[in-house]
Copies of this chain bind each other. A is one copy, B any other.
Amino acid sequence: MTGFEKKVFEFIDRWGLIKQGEKILVAVSGGKDSMALLHFLVSKKERLGCEICVANMDHGLRDDSGREEAVMIASFCEKHDVPFYHERRDVTQYHKNNRGLSLEEAARIVRYDFLFNAREKLGADKIALAHHLNDLVETMLMRIARGTGLKGVISMKPMNNSIIRPLLSVGVQEILDYVTINMIPYKEDPTNVLEVYDRNFIRMRIVPLFKELNASFEDAIYRFYMNIMESYNIIEEKVRSFISSLETETENGKVQRCFGELDIFLKEQDALVAEVVREIVMRLSEDGYPPSRERIEAFMKLLGKQDRRWTIEFKEDIKSSRLGKYIFFYRGDLFESMKDDVDEVIEKLPVRVSTRFGEIILNYEKGKLELKEKFDGKKVCPCTLKVLKFPLRFRRVKCEDRMIPFGSKKEKEVFKIIKESGMTGFITRIPVLENADGTILWVPGIRAAEQCRVSDSEDGYALFRFERR
């Protein structure tokens, strides 16, 4: 194996880019980078244990020239028996229709849309892009020049979901050598016309100066990149495990709200909490951008205060509030957003209430309470008529709610009872049945209160039923 091949193999192995039996869609423009990637993957597919297919998009930027590349790639694919998918997309038109975007951004969006589309059509698992070490160096310097953080400086990843970049450890010179030695056909990359000014400026003017300081500048940047990747992985893991300890409500895979106890925030180190908050706000937000450093610091200050109730806005419509012992993160208005929740005043029985969790039926029963049904207080809860006072109220659980669980003598937070029941999801949406005197009588599906207990001597009682949706 040549040095180039060894390096690429090691990189694929190091980051687990390709797994046995996977089908890899190679994005090929026809330039030397993507042709080298294609040649490498095709010639090593047995060893890698993968299938290869190719997608080429004509940007439609230079009249008819896109056709030349397509013909060249198609002939390469035919020779090596590789499925080839081609499409012409009008980037210029898309750019005209979306004036807020730069031409490069427009091309990027059209290109990714094309690639994900092609991946589906060809039934591929992953998409391989031909970004190499010089691209990485330029991207990192560009990010640093604009101000970034750990996550931003390594935005060009070896693997990002289904996108893989097998050439990230080899430089453009090594690629050129590989292409020359293997007599691989290529055209001057037609997408070069899309190069933005900044990237060109870094490549042509800044990188050469760094190379005067250090002839192995690209290797130095690569070491920096690898070190930062490792560091970032440590933090990412800690952040992930913290966030997974919060209660989160998602809709269509998008985070809507989440909350957790103040204590778990206070126990963790500040820097990690800041990172967690940054990540939560990014997940909550439409654009995926993090809040400003100043907002994070303002949040951290509030967190340390004694005030039991505050709200802070991070950006647009994304806020955090403390309500007693809990910290919430949400979009829009925390209570407004919950108004679809049940809040029903009950003047008499029988009654049937529909909630997002299920149907709740309250009724009177005659005679003595017999233990024919499994009256565990969860799905079926008998309640003595001695305590029942109208109007009852069905409402969302509050932070400050407390009750005496059936069989116990000690009052306990309802939130805690719900949590201990193993209930997952957004527990602040769970309804409770409140007596006219303010006692919580029942948490449907979760627990009855001690006050409900029906004595042996009683003739007749109320029965609450919960039918999960």
Contact = CB atoms under 8 A, between A and B. Distances in A.
A275 interface: yes
B148 A224 contact: yes
B205 A201 contact: no
A214 interface: yes
Per assembly, the copies of the chain total: 2
A201 B206 CA distance: 12
Nearest to A205: B209
A235 interface: yes
Contacts of A237: 269, 271-272
Contacts of A223: 147-149, 293
A227 interface: yes
A371 interface: no
A406 interface: no
A183 interface: no
Contacts of A233: 269, 271
A145 B201 contact: no
Given A206-B206, A209-B205, A213-B202, A231 B144 contact: no
Given A235-B231, A238-B238, A293-B223, A145 B272 contact: no
A149 B234 contact: no
Contacts of A436: none
A216 B145 CA distance: 9
A211 to B, nearest CB: 9
B220 A272 contact: no
Given A228-B150, A230-B275, A145 B217 contact: yes
B146 A214 contact: yes
B271 A220 contact: no
Contacts of A142: 213
Contact of A213 (B198, B213, B221, B227): B198
Interface in A227-262: 227-228, 230-235, 237-238
Interface string A367-400: 0000000000000000000000000000000000
A202 B209 CA distance: 9
Nearest to A212: B201
Given A234-B275, A271-B233, A275-B234, A147 B205 contact: no
Given A231-B275, A234-B272, A147 B220 contact: yes
A223 B150 CA distance: 11
A226 interface: yes
A210 interface: yes
B235 A213 contact: no
Contacts of A228: 149-150
Nearest to A228: B150
Nearest to A231: B150
A210 B220 contact: no
A235 B146 CA distance: 25
B238 A153 contact: no
B271 A224 contact: no
Interface in A109-152: 142, 144-150
Given A147-B220, A149-B223, A223-B293, 15 more contacts: A144-B224, A146-B220, A147-B222, A147-B224, A148-B224, A149-B227, A149-B228, A150-B227, A201-B209, A205-B209, A209-B209, A231-B232, A233-B271, A234-B234, A234-B235
Per CB-CB distance, the 6 closest pairs between chain A and chain B, nearest first, are A147-B220, A149-B227, A147-B223, A233-B271, A150-B231, A230-B271
11 contacts: A144-B224, A146-B220, A147-B216, A147-B222, A148-B224, A201-B209, A201-B212, A206-B209, A223-B293, A226-B293, A233-B271
